[in-house]
Each structure stands twice: as C-alpha cells, then as structure tokens.
Amino acid sequence: MNVTIIGTGGWGLTLGQVLNDNGHHVSFWTFSQKEVDLLSTEHQYKDKLPGVIFPESFTYTTDMKKSLEGAEMVLFVVPSQVMGNVSREFAKCKPEGKIPLVVCATKGILEGTDQRMSEVILENVPWLDSDHMVTLSGPTHAEEVSRRVYTTIVAACPNEHSAKEVQKIMSNNYLRVYTSTDQIGVELCGAIKNVIAIASGVLYGIGAGDNTRAALITRGQAEICRLGRALGANPRTFAGLAGMGDLIVTCLSQHSRNRYVGECIGKGEALDQIMSHMKMIAEGVPTCKSAKALAEEVHVELPIVNAVYEVLFNNKKPADIIEMLMTRDLRSEEE
C-alpha cells in the first residue's frame, strides 16, 4: 500500500518505519525544506531520535500535492496547534480517484476551539467523511517503537470496518493494534493525559513521594473520566490503552516530553525558557488551555488541570498549588 505521512517529527518517522516493516511504501510531507534536506541525506533525525536510521526508500517533500500522489492511506502527525492550517492545505489536494483512509496520530485539542483532532480535520476537509477518519492513540513513545520495543495502540473510528483496516495495516510482531469505535473517548484521553503528565513532572521536580504520584495519576484519571462522560465518551475507554495505559506511560516514563516540562517547572525554570530548548513538542502546554476552556463550557470541575494552568500561565508556585489541592473541600471518591 502507498502511505503518505504528514509530519516528519519523531512520531511520524517512527510510524513510517512501522509501515515500512509491514511492507508498505512510505512518502512524507513536511513544511520544512531543512527537514527534507536533513532526512534525505542523513536518513536520521539525531535531534529527535538519535541512533535510529530510517529506510533509504523513504521520500520527503514540502509539496503536499506531490507527496499525496497515489496515496491509499494518509497519516497526520503534526503538532495539534498547526492541524487547522495543515488540514486546510490537505483539503486543496483532493485525489482524482478513491478517497484515501485518513488516520490522525496527533494528540491535543485545538486552542481557541473545543475541537478534537478528528473534528478539526473533518471540518476543514469537506470531501472526507467520518467513516474514513481514524484516530491512532495509546502508550507509544517513539523512542521505544522506533527500536521495535513491544507496544500496543488503539485505532478508533465510529466505523469499525475502518478501524479494523488500520489495525490490519499497522499491526506486526512488536506493535499490536486494538480497535475501538469510541473515537471521542480515545481522543480526549490522549489529549488530557498530557496535562496530567505535566503535573506528574512537577512532582518529580519538587521531589514529591510515590504516594503523591499515585494520587495524581488516579485523580487525574478521575478528571479525564468526568470530562469524557460529559462529552459522550464510553467509560470503558478510560481504563483501556488510550486511557489508563497512556496516562501511566506519560506520567512515569523518562521519554515523556510533557513530564519533562513539568519536571523543569518543578525545579524552578520558566516555561518560555523550557520551551525554547525543547526539540520535540509537548502537547500538554496548549492543551491545558483548551481543556480548561472545554471543561468550563460543559461545567465539569478539573482541579488538577486548573492547577497546571495556574502554574504554567499565572506563575503560581507548585508548592502553594499542591497545598490548595490538598486542602480543598473534602469529598467522596464516588462522586
């Protein structure tokens, strides 16, 4: 199968390698000529995945129409906050023949809107319908998948047949793909867990204990469930790979970008200073703003998300915010 991947970051390249391992032909689009030159000559992206060499058969271009020639499947793997522009560009490249299956592996909610990534793409691409829009999400750090470490992931689409198609195309002996029809739940879990991961990083940064981290992960999960239920997600998704699975990996892994941002904050660094030296995207930062706005819109209380917002954007001290969280009105765990 011919697959086009939109985005040549760590995750896009890694998914390309999975598809190449499965015998598919992979082309990439990127907005950056610098990335085209680097990847076409060096076949590696040292800044993002040092030591990983990508197949020489990969092709790279900044010309989206050209990158999509003959594409039977298209994967979007760009940062969430550029998904609007990138999908509008994609909309101009309607293929002559069969509409390709579209898969989105980006995690986040578009700032200034309440839109999940599949909603952004579907709104901007009028010739694409929701039956052909699949979400790929789960506990999957590129640093490990690119080294073929055993991993699981979820392909979610309201149309089960499309989810199963992606499952068949992407599964192999080191990547096991499950399917789900709960795209809302899978996307919300993937977006909000990044905000909770920042909080987890803050706990590492200030030297908090394991009890505190366990509390954060569990109560973070409670917030994801509360918001998800209000927005129509299937509660079973929260306990699945895209839910608890991804929350665990992102809160605890040495590879997590969002956890790293939180850890630096906990050690006293300023957010803009941290962002200026990061080589990969930490989606939890913009998603924190959108999640807070989304929760207010549907009248759902998210104390941890709000706490992260106060620390990131209002310069509140983590210790004061944790004290505030611990001494709020007492409540039942069953609420």
Ligand X SMILES: O=P(O)(O)OC[C@H](O)CO
**Which residues of the shown chain bind ligand NAD in the complex (CB under 6 A)?**
7-12, 30-32, 35, 48, 77-80, 82, 86, 105-108, 140-142, 280-281, 283
Of the candidate residues 162, 256, 287, 290, the single one contacting ligand X (CB under 6 A): 256
- Residue 217 is assigned to a ligand binding site: no
Q: Using the rule CB under 6 A, is 250 a contact of ligand X?
A: yes
Q: What φ, ψ does residue 178 adopt, rounded to 5°?
A: -100, 160
Compute the chain's Rg from CA coordinates.
Answer: 19
CB of 32 to ligand NAD, least distance (A): 6
The maximal CA–CA distance of the chain, rounded, in angstroms, is 61
Q: Residue 139: which of ligand X, ligand NAD, none does it interact with, CB under 5 to 8 A by kind? A: ligand X
- Residue 256 is assigned to a ligand binding site: yes
Among positive and negative, which fits the CA dihedral 206, 209, 214, 216?
negative
Of the candidate residues 48, 116, 132, 257, the single one contacting ligand X (CB under 6 A): 257
Tell me how far apart the alpha carbons of residues 97 and 151 are, in angstroms, rounded to a whole number.
Answer: 34
Q: Using the rule CB under 6 A, is 197 a contact of ligand X?
A: yes
Q: Residue 250: which of ligand NAD, ligand X, none does it interact with, CB under 5 to 8 A by kind? A: ligand X
**E strand or H helix that includes residue 74:** strand 73-76
Let me know if 193 is a catalytic residue: yes
Q: Which of 48, 98, 193, 316 is catalytic?
A: 193
Sheet containing 151-156: give its strands across. Answer: 59-61, 25-29, 2-6, 73-76, 101-104, 133-137, 151-156, 175-180
**E strand or H helix that includes residue 262:** helix 257-266
Q: Residue 182: which of ligand X, ligand NAD, none does it interact with, CB under 5 to 8 A by kind? A: none
Residues near ligand X (CB under 6 A) are 107, 139-141, 194, 197, 246, 249-250, 255-258
Catalytically annotated residues? 193
